[in-house]
Structure 1
Amino acid sequence: MHKILVIFAHPALQKSIAHKSLFNEIQNIDGITCHDLYDTYPDSFIDIKHEQVLLLNHDIIVLQFPLYWYSCPAILKEWQDLVLEHGFAYGENGDKLVGKKIILAISTGGSANSYSTTGYNEHDISQFLLPFSQMSKLCNLEYLPPFVVHDIHKRHDAERIADKTAQYRQLLLGLQQQSGDTTTTDMESNQ
């Protein structure tokens, strides 16, 4: 069974509609480590060695966050800058993450249609996530299709959130059990 590390970054969790439910749903699943960056580092001083040990001890890394201004919250960017350093994650002797997988679990305020070439944002969601895809490539991580909950500002009824939460749980449980082929992990929500 694959060990999963969920690196969670939400700067305003008390206002969260989707992520609070998603994150709470996976708290007590064996083999899944839930790691809240804002809770662990309220002063934003990230313990690089501790974070690297966490990465080494897990097979699959989940970056869970709300898409803010077409990117991740500040602490997750800080985490990337410090933890995924040369000689560890990339570059000379930077092979510590080879063979691991990474997936994003994100929410957007806009609809799936707004994240299309004909929509308001004029680009597909994958284009906004390109820095994460490229980071994965540089760090020798296998980049899996993202789990996306769209339209969270307008469509946040309890039934829809419960459905997305169940899908997220099933996705992670499936990843735990999966052996080789990862092409079936695309549970992107287009709603």
Structure 2
Amino acid sequence: MTTDLRALVVFADPSLHRSRISRRVVEAVAGLPAVQVHDLYQRYPDFYIDVRHERALLKAAPLVVFVFQLGWYAMPALLKEWFDVVFKPEWAAQAPGRLHGKAAFAAVACAGAPDDYRPGGRHARPIEDYLAPLEQTARACGMDWLAPHVYYGAERAGPADAEAAAQHAARLRALLARRAGIPLENGDAHGT
């Protein structure tokens, strides 16, 4: 664990080996100082979660970022299990609260265009509706929920889409650095 931890990136992608977006995101944020990328599927392939370890990471980080691809309008199964066992109300939401005052947001990739996520659109609801369980969990624990960072069009493939994925990763890196108070060096290709 980083001693001067400014952000914990809780990363969950069950198919990282074939995900061009998740790989780029991990590469972009992993190099930030005082940021720990915590890959749940790598650490817990058997879904047996070390709750004490996870809670220690959460207590040490002032900012928590949940990175995943939305699948069938929900977070990946291991991330849901992680919330269920780590964020037990008797631990996470007790007064004054172990997580009170920390900030959190989701960085999510999803299929479709922004217009698909609105009333009358293909998915009929705004993306925030699909992230509501995360938001409510964070708020119930006294955390400050920040606006999500969303990458639309995750299902597309091709040279132009590879560039869009790279730009998404760079924007997330810059956003994470800003929210965590980490200065980016001038000319940092990932921070522009």
| Same fold per superposition (TM over 0.5) | yes
Aligned to 2:163: 159
Aligned to 2:37: 34
- TM superposition shift of 1:158: 2.1
Aligned to 2:176: 172
Q: Distance in 1 between matches of 2:157 and 2:123?
A: 18
Q: Distance in 2 between matches of 1:94 and 1:84?
A: 15
SS in 1 for 2:114: coil
TM-score (norm 2): 0.87
Aligned to 1:70: 73
What are structure 2's unaligned runs of at least 5 residues?
A: 183-192
Structure 1 residue corresponding to 2:56, chosen from 53, 57, 61:
53
Counterpart residue type for residue 129 of structure 1? L
SS in 2 for 1:102: strand
Matched-pair contact (CA < 8 Å) for 1:2–1:175 = no
- TM superposition shift of 1:151: 1.1
Q: Distance in 2 between matches of 1:71 and 1:94?
A: 30
Aligned Cα root-mean-square deviation (Å): 1.6
Range 156-165 or range 99-108, more displaced: 156-165
Aligned to 2:127: 125
Identical pairs, percent? 32
Instruction: Confirm or deny that 1:140 pairs with 2:108.
Output: no
CA deviation profile, 1:6-52 (whole Å, cap 9, x unmatched): 00000000110211101111112111000000001111100000000
Matched-pair contact (CA < 8 Å) for 1:87–1:95 = no
Return structure 1 stretches of 4+ with deviation > 3 angstroms: none
Matched-pair contact (CA < 8 Å) for 1:51–1:83 = yes
Spell out the pairing of 1:179-190 with structure 2 (5 A cutoff). Answer: none
What are structure 1's unaligned runs of at least 5 residues?
A: 179-191
